[in-house]
Chain A
Amino acid sequence: MPAKSKSQADAIAGLPARRSPILRLASTLVKSPVGLAGSVIVSAVVLLALFGPLISPQDAAARNLRARFQAPGHVDAAGSYYSLGSDQLGRDILSRIIAGSRVSVLVGVVSVLLSGAIGVLYGLISGFIGGALDAALMRIVDGLLAIPFIILVIAISGVVGAGLGTLVLILGGTGWVTYARVIRGEVLKARELDYVLAAYALGQRRPQVMLKHILPNVISSAIVLAAVQVGVTILAESSLSFLGLGVKPPTVTWGLMLSDGRQYINSAWWMTAFPGMAITITVLGVVFLGDWLRDVLDPQVRGRG
């Protein structure tokens, strides 16, 4: 196996043994309390999204008109336990929070993958080709960045119409702008590095240099930015659903739960308090994970809020 002979060669040369990048990341994760907390929270939310129905105490859609607006800790006549209370239709808040994790994870992951792919490609091309094309592409980015992200998303989903699939496309189709600017800046720096010039000197073609030598060099910035954007996207989805411009019932989302909670804010505080906590804890986990990634990968990037 070539990998083995390589590490043997390193050992002979007195270099430390090579470990896979994933192992290296895992070993720094254990040493970082922030990274550890973040990964525990995020994996818990992802597990809830995947296996929620198996551990959910009740059916998230099951109505029980005899148990409407029950405060946390209520036990109904049939013995069902409402640990976080019930809503206006007697549905269990905890079960609905578990069911709602699915939309947050789905929207967060898919939109960010979409916007990341578009933004990295856009920034790569803009920075690598440069010149008039770069100037034109960056003016478009400036223009789109001038409209605050959430307002842009609200306007588009208001015009186009709501729904889970549309929402993912809208968030993915607008979020790329941040990546485009950051990646373009990184490409400009990487373009001048010695090894890139060496690649040209060795007779490599431009597309090859762009994809094989520059792209790997800017990808760590994209990863850190992606972590920030997952949080931003989850918050955006909840805002949109809260305003009635995002996901529609009967799909369960934390934003929609808050929109219900607002209707009964005078009497049922638990309808508002707990779904919001779910959003906060989830995004906090993502923020922690992002902070840790930034420390480990160390690019100088910042997302927008």
Chain B
Amino acid sequence: MRGFFISRLAQLVVTMFIVSLAVFLIVRLSGDPILVLAPDFFSQEQIEEMRRFWGFDRPLAEQYVTFITRAITGDFGTSYLAKRPAMELIIERLGYTWMLAAAAAAIGVTIAIPLGVLSALKRNSLIDLVITLLSSLGTAMPSFWLGLMLIIIFSVHLRMLPAFGALEPKAIIMPAATLGVGMAARLSRMTRSAMLEVLSQDYVRTAHSKGLKQNIVVLRHALRNALIPIVTVFGLQLGWLLGGSVVVESVFSWPGLGRLMIDSINVRDNTVVQAGLFWFALTFILINYAIDVLYILLDPRIKFE
């Protein structure tokens, strides 16, 4: 088992290496970054000087090696705009994004699991139909639009919740609910199909015929086994959640990594864009690694070579 963790960890390192290469190339897609950064009035010499200063005069491969060796030590370069280490800016914002994502994931799971289980237990009933339709609707709805509609209802008309910022604790409610609904829609579908699969298994029938109560069968025998595919989908949908957070943070002016990314993209602060992309990917990969670990706790039958 220890071997498994180590080989997964090695795979994680390889993936992050590819990510770093992709990220490095993406921010250079625009061609010469100096021409974007330099003010119009700069002379040719000043531009050359600036190019040397930021290291853009070196060959691309050498620039990449510099980038990756520094990134390993946590140095992602200096923000062109803030003139501060990009990593500092990221750390200031990362907590907000993690907090928002955790709250949204919690809302999503709390809604999705009971609804998905109910839907599976009452298969083909009216309630199943309603839940399935709602989850399709939640998947189809753009999350930022849901956010805007919540602002219209709860900020503009009812004046109950702040429309933007993170100055008071209740400011997290609307952005978290916006993302949580989308997450719930995606998870409840999976919960339903995983439960349906498990409910038709022999051991569930055996549990019923032993005379166990319905609740115990559903919770202990069925749901526990259905959790494995649910957790897998949860891990994959975190990619959606992190992506959605970028747009939703922008709607609610939530001071997280997503808004930092958008702001940096708009002023072409590529060092920060580069670091932000890297940290989004790292978050996503680490959570999925944690999920692999969780598998073993959920299902002692899983063995790894």
Give A contacts to B, CB under 8 Å.
139-140, 142-152, 154-156, 158-161, 231, 235, 238-239, 242-245, 258, 261-262, 265-266, 269, 272-273, 275-276, 279-281, 283-284, 286-288, 291, 302, 304-305
Q: Which of A140, A146, A161 contacts B285 (CB 8 A)?
A: A146
Given contacts A146-B18, A151-B258, 11 further A-B contacts (CB under 8 A): A143-B19, A143-B22, A146-B16, A147-B23, A148-B242, A160-B29, A243-B262, A265-B151, A265-B163, A287-B139, A305-B139
In the assembled complex, the CB of A175 is this many whole angstroms from the nearest CB of chain B, namely 13
Residues from chain A with Cβ under 8 Å of B270 in the complex:
159
- CB atoms of B243 and A276 under 8 A apart: no
Q: Which of B136, B142, B239 contacts A148 (CB 8 A)?
A: B239
Bound together, the chains give a CA A239 to CA B29 distance in angstroms of 21
- CB atoms of A272 and B30 under 8 A apart: no
Bound together, the chains give a CA A242 to CA B14 distance in angstroms of 35
Bound together, the chains give a CA A239 to CA B144 distance in angstroms of 8
- CB atoms of A305 and B145 under 8 A apart: no
Bound together, the chains give a CA A265 to CA B137 distance in angstroms of 23
Residues from chain B with Cβ under 8 Å of A269 in the complex:
152, 156
- CB atoms of A139 and B14 under 8 A apart: yes
Would you mind naming 19 contact pairs between A and B with Cβ atoms under 8 Å apart? Answer: A143-B21, A144-B22, A146-B16, A147-B277, A147-B280, A151-B261, A152-B26, A155-B265, A159-B26, A159-B30, A238-B142, A239-B144, A245-B265, A258-B142, A269-B152, A272-B145, A273-B149, A273-B152, A280-B145
A155/B27 contact (C-beta < 8 A), A146-B15, A283-B140 known: yes
Residues from chain A with Cβ under 8 Å of B136 in the complex:
284, 287-288, 291
- B141, closest chain A residue (CB): A280
Bound together, the chains give a CA A242 to CA B262 distance in angstroms of 12
- CB atoms of B142 and A266 under 8 A apart: no
Interface residues on B, range: 35 or more
Whether a CB of chain A sits under 8 angstroms from the CB of B90 is no
- A141, closest chain B residue (CB): B18
- A283, closest chain B residue (CB): B140
Whether a CB of chain A sits under 8 angstroms from the CB of B107 is no
In the assembled complex, the CB of A236 is this many whole angstroms from the nearest CB of chain B, namely 9
Residues from chain A with Cβ under 8 Å of B5 in the complex:
none
Residues from chain B with Cβ under 8 Å of A265 in the complex:
148, 151-152, 156, 163
Bound together, the chains give a CA A163 to CA B23 distance in angstroms of 22
- B233, closest chain A residue (CB): A302
- CB atoms of B242 and A151 under 8 A apart: yes
Residues from chain B with Cβ under 8 Å of A273 in the complex:
149, 152
What are the interface flags for B17-43 relative to A under an 8 Å C-beta threshold, 1 for contact and 0 otherwise?
A: 111011100110110000000000000
- Of B76-84, B115-123, B213-221, B245-253, the stretch lying at the interface with chain A is B245-253
Q: Quick one: which of B123-181 are within 8 Å of A by CB?
A: 136-137, 139-142, 144-146, 148-149, 151-152, 156, 163
- CB atoms of A154 and B262 under 8 A apart: yes
Bound together, the chains give a CA A150 to CA B22 distance in angstroms of 15
In the assembled complex, the CB of A45 is this many whole angstroms from the nearest CB of chain B, namely 13
What number of residue pairs across chains A and B have CB atoms under 8 A from each other? 158
- CB atoms of A148 and B247 under 8 A apart: no
Whether a CB of chain A sits under 8 angstroms from the CB of B4 is no
Bound together, the chains give a CA A139 to CA B224 distance in angstroms of 32
Name the residue among B233, B239, B251 with the largest chain A CB count within 10 angstroms: B239
A139/B148 contact (C-beta < 8 A), A155-B277, A305-B237 known: no
Whether a CB of chain A sits under 8 angstroms from the CB of B204 is no
Residues from chain A with Cβ under 8 Å of B14 in the complex:
139, 142
Residues from chain B with Cβ under 8 Å of A142 in the complex:
11, 14-15, 18
Whether a CB of chain A sits under 8 angstroms from the CB of B255 is no
Q: Which of A146, A276, A286 contacts B142 (CB 8 A)?
A: A276
Residues from chain B with Cβ under 8 Å of A261 in the complex:
148
Bound together, the chains give a CA A150 to CA B250 distance in angstroms of 14
- B288, closest chain A residue (CB): A146
Whether a CB of chain A sits under 8 angstroms from the CB of B236 is yes
In the assembled complex, the CB of A302 is this many whole angstroms from the nearest CB of chain B, namely 8
Q: Which of B30, B142, B251, B281 contacts A160 (CB 8 A)?
A: B30
Residues from chain B with Cβ under 8 Å of A231 in the complex:
139-140
Name the residue among A145, A261, A280, A305 with the largest chain B CB count within 10 angstroms: A305
- A261, closest chain B residue (CB): B148
- CB atoms of A304 and B144 under 8 A apart: no
Q: Which of B18, B30, B163, B242 contacts A139 (CB 8 A)?
A: B18
- CB atoms of A272 and B148 under 8 A apart: yes
Bound together, the chains give a CA A265 to CA B153 distance in angstroms of 10
- CB atoms of B242 and A262 under 8 A apart: no
Bound together, the chains give a CA A88 to CA B169 distance in angstroms of 34
- A267, closest chain B residue (CB): B156
- CB atoms of A305 and B140 under 8 A apart: no
Whether a CB of chain A sits under 8 angstroms from the CB of B266 is yes
